[in-house]
Structure 1
Amino acid sequence: MGLTSKEVLGLAVLAAVLLFVGTVWLWPRLARRGWRAVCGRVGLLLATQLAIFAAVGLAANQAFGFYASWSDLFGMEKDQGVVVDHAAGGPLRVADTRRVPGAGSGRPQVSGAIQEVGIVGRTTRIATPAYVYLPPEYFQPQYRTRRFPVAVVLTGYPGTASALVEKLRYPRTALELAREGRMEPMILVMLRPTVAPPRDTECVDVPGGPQTESFFARDLPDAVRAHYRVAREPRGWGIVGNSTGGYCALKIALHHPGVYAAGAGLSAYYKAPIDPTTGDLFHGDKERENRADLFWYLKHMPAADTSLLVSSSRTGESNYKDTLRFIDRVKATGLTRISSIILESGGHNFNTWRREIPGTLQWISERLTADR
């Protein structure tokens, strides 16, 4: 049974309940002196607490999508980072097609479709799974010649791509907004920035390691263009993310305005951290390290002709002051455009991002155009 399955969570909850009831029932028998009684009490308390901790941890993982599998949890996902072989069918291969959760009709012409795909970078040799949302119009005859705008959507770290579909509801939200006339039909390419698990590369081209920034700036757009009817020009491409994905989205939009016309960072930070999950990202390369600091980049590099959106909360988000400072720094460039979503309160969690996603999708739709 998988880490995120309801059966595993149900068993954990059941074990916690049974151990709690057993502790209450057996406590009088163990309330005597002697090493056996003491060991019995300690054992029951320890087992009950572990069961409760496991149940709470599994429930939190299902709610927030931290880990997708047991191997992901224990850091054993190491075979998917870099591949030598290129897929014979091209850089993007479709593994499965499914309906949009909560969209009603299963017909793609009515409710769109979600395709589970595998992407292989032709230059970086990075391989990663992703989900692609295709709007209903993609399947309708009157739109057969249209090349649709694209938003690349990134999770945080460690995150799972499926959380973008099931927890953050990007496809369902995009479908509803388009039906209401609040955004244009758009293709969403949803994946996590952790393309070399379990390492958190912070979308950096690591010297001698994964070339993550190049993958998102070059290989991913090329693979999507080769397989789908999507916009060819930068004016049809945007990138969105939350937390780590938000930092990546802002950085890639700033570094590569010739690829992405807009970038949105929800609850983003503005400088790549160095910690046990990232390892040494720069290997003494000060230029790379500076470029990964968005405040440094805005001050020292030429202004990028792109549009940015940032979000935070006055209460609940640790990035609030940095976000205000980032807005001021972008405004000072005179060329890069900046917008923001500032909530009165909201923590660093899915509920906060679900409140920001409709406005974010509407914002990015207004800045992208389809090839007609």
Structure 2
Amino acid sequence: MHASAIRIDTVPVVLTATVIAVVFVVAVPWAWDRWRRRIPGRVGTTLLAVIAVVTACGLAVNASGSFYPTLGSLLGTSPNPEEGTVADAGPDGRDLGQTLATVGDRAASGHGSLLHVTVTGHRTGLTRDVDVYLPVGYTAPEWAGFRFPVLEWIPHFPGEPRQVATLYGLPDLLDREIGSHQMPPTVVIVPDPNGEPRLTHDSECVDAVHGAADDTYLSADLRGWALSRLRVRSDRQGWAIAGWSSGGYCALNLTARHPQWFSVAVSMSGYDTTPHDVETGDLFHGRDDIRHANDVSATLREHPSPVRLLVSADGAAADERAALERLRAAVAPPVELTTWVLPPAGHNLNAVRAELPAVLDWLDTQLGNPVKIGASPPGRTTIGDIPPWPLPDTGTPGSLHGTDTSL
């Protein structure tokens, strides 16, 4: 049995762990003077009791917050990256045409379709799993001559694309919002921001110094692929990025760093600077210029662009509120910042699911509608093209630096 099939968030699992912990705790005094070799025996039973208690408490907290439903989601492994999707469109979407019949059939019953592909980056050479949501209308004859707005959704660490469907329930929410005309028909691209192995491999969506060029993959590579394979808008006003937790930081950072491509970002309980911890490590290896160039507040202050940001924070999360205050202090026109301080609900998936409908409603006011092929996008295009600001060179082959914007 694969780890992703082992549930760890159920009441029986928590109760079993609790009973085991109680047994181990009771065994410590019961066996204290019964060991033939007292010191090893006492140390061993005490250690086992501590581990059992910590495990039971961790499982109880996990179940109450719905953080990781399976052992596989905790470890960041999956035997089936297509889970939650309705069809596989193959490497780089080469079989996309073969899936459109399925997409059309589902659209007839009011459902969009989540497809699985693998995308190899033209610049970086990275190959990652990517899920693509095609809305109702994508295959309809009346929409054949239109390009659709794009929402790039970045999964949280140690998440992967399949969890956005199976844990967030995003496709069903999109169906409901689009079907009730509360959101325009939108193509949603859900990439894997980290790759395997996920445990202790938190990329934070940055171009690491002499490491993986995750930023370049998630911005230039995915954009170039989408423009070549999907009917999506090419203007910056038609592209948004969103995410929760680390995905929220990714959304803010990618938008602030590449305003020539993205105009809207949503950070749900995210932050504004990369952590330096066991899971993330040192992504910048002493390069303060690279670290500074990935500080969202610093970027917005020093390179303000006409981007529209939504940032939410849990009312009881001091770190989230501190990041929100730094962003408030940094922004000035033409940056537009909307902030939400939400009632305390914890940093968990239940809070994400509760917040998502309001986030999608906000995006409805920002994304705009599909645009007829060959026509100029309506709305906020009077701002004109937004030039890139010069990014420092990380030394990673293929990574974006300077004002290079080639896809």
Shift of 1:221: 1.1
- Matched-pair contact (CA < 8 Å) for 2:17–2:52: no
Cα RMSD for the two superposed structures: 4.1
* Equivalent-residue separation in structure 1 for 2:11 and 2:341 (angstroms): 40
- Matched-pair contact (CA < 8 Å) for 1:66–1:160: no
Shift of 1:63: 3.3
Which residue type is aligned with residue 63 of structure 1? S
Structure 1's 242 and 11: CA in aligned 2 closer, same or farther, altered over 3 A?
Answer: closer
The number of aligned residues is 349
* Equivalent-residue separation in structure 2 for 1:159 and 1:169 (angstroms): 14
Percent of aligned positions that are identical: 25
1:285 to 269, 274, 287: 287
Which residue type is aligned with residue 253 of structure 1? T
SS at the partner of 2:129? strand
Range that drifts further, 221-230 or 256-265? 221-230
Mind listing any 5+ residue stretches in structure 1 that lack a counterpart? 81-88
**Normalising by the residue count of structure 1, what TM-score does the alignment of the two structures yield?**
0.79
Q: Which residue of 2 aligns with 1:328?
A: 329
Q: Which residue of 2 aligns with 1:182?
A: 182
- Matched-pair contact (CA < 8 Å) for 2:153–2:242: yes
Residue 340, structure 1, aligned to residue 342, structure 2: no
* Equivalent-residue separation in structure 2 for 1:316 and 1:47 (angstroms): 28
Q: Which residue of 1 aligns with 2:377?
A: none
Superposition pairs for residues 9-158 of structure 1, below 5 Å?
A: 13=13, 16=16, 34-35=34-35, 42=45, 46=49, 49=52, 53=56, 56=59, 60=63, 63-65=66-68, 69=72, 73=75, 91-92=92-93, 107-109=106-108, 110-158=110-158
Write the deviation string for residues 243-262 of structure 1: whole angstroms up to 9, x where unpaired. Answer: 11101100111111111121
**Normalising by the residue count of structure 2, what TM-score does the alignment of the two structures yield?**
0.73
Structure 1's 190 and 317: CA in aligned 2 closer, same or farther, altered over 3 A?
Answer: farther
Which residue type is aligned with residue 289 of structure 2? E
Write the deviation string for residues 304-327 of structure 1: whole angstroms up to 9, x where unpaired. Answer: 121111001222453113203312
Structure 1's 252 and 19: CA in aligned 2 closer, same or farther, altered over 3 A?
Answer: closer
Structure 1's 94 and 271: CA in aligned 2 closer, same or farther, altered over 3 A?
Answer: farther
* Equivalent-residue separation in structure 1 for 2:33 and 2:225 (angstroms): 70
* Equivalent-residue separation in structure 1 for 2:314 and 2:327 (angstroms): 14
- Matched-pair contact (CA < 8 Å) for 2:293–2:299: yes
Shift of 1:197: 3.7
* Equivalent-residue separation in structure 2 for 1:174 and 1:233 (angstroms): 22
Q: Which residue of 2 aligns with 1:215?
A: 217
Mind listing any 5+ residue stretches in structure 2 that lack a counterpart? 82-89, 373-407
SS at the partner of 2:66? helix
Shift of 1:189: 1.1
Which residue type is aligned with residue 72 of structure 2? S
- Matched-pair contact (CA < 8 Å) for 1:192–1:245: no
- Matched-pair contact (CA < 8 Å) for 2:9–2:63: no
Write the deviation string for residues 160-185 of structure 1: whole angstroms up to 9, x where unpaired. Answer: 32221121111111111112221111
SS at the partner of 2:189? strand
Shift of 1:53: 3.5
Residue 299, structure 1, aligned to residue 298, structure 2: no
* Equivalent-residue separation in structure 1 for 2:58 and 2:310 (angstroms): 37
- Matched-pair contact (CA < 8 Å) for 1:16–1:52: no
Shift of 1:76: 8.8
- Matched-pair contact (CA < 8 Å) for 1:131–1:189: yes
Residue 264, structure 1, aligned to residue 266, structure 2: yes
Which residue type is aligned with residue 338 of structure 1? L
Which residue type is aligned with residue 56 of structure 1? L
- Matched-pair contact (CA < 8 Å) for 2:129–2:191: yes
* Equivalent-residue separation in structure 2 for 1:299 and 1:200 (angstroms): 26
* Equivalent-residue separation in structure 1 for 2:296 and 2:193 (angstroms): 18
Residue 226, structure 1, aligned to residue 225, structure 2: no
Q: Which residue of 1 aligns with 2:310?
A: 309
Write the deviation string for residues 353-372 of structure 1: whole angstroms up to 9, x where unpaired. Answer: 22221122222232223222
* Equivalent-residue separation in structure 1 for 2:146 and 2:294 (angstroms): 36
Shift of 1:54: 10
SS at the partner of 2:193? coil
Write the deviation string for residues 210-263 of structure 1: whole angstroms up to 9, x where unpaired. Answer: 111111110011112222211122111110011111011001111111111211
SS at the partner of 2:315? strand
1:201 to 178, 200, 203: 203
* Equivalent-residue separation in structure 2 for 1:150 and 1:245 (angstroms): 16
Shift of 1:196: 5.9
* Equivalent-residue separation in structure 2 for 1:152 and 1:323 (angstroms): 22
Shift of 1:291: 0.9
Range that drifts further, 279-288 or 49-58? 49-58
Write the deviation string for residues 319-342 of structure 1: whole angstroms up to 9, x where unpaired. Answer: 113203312321xx2101111222
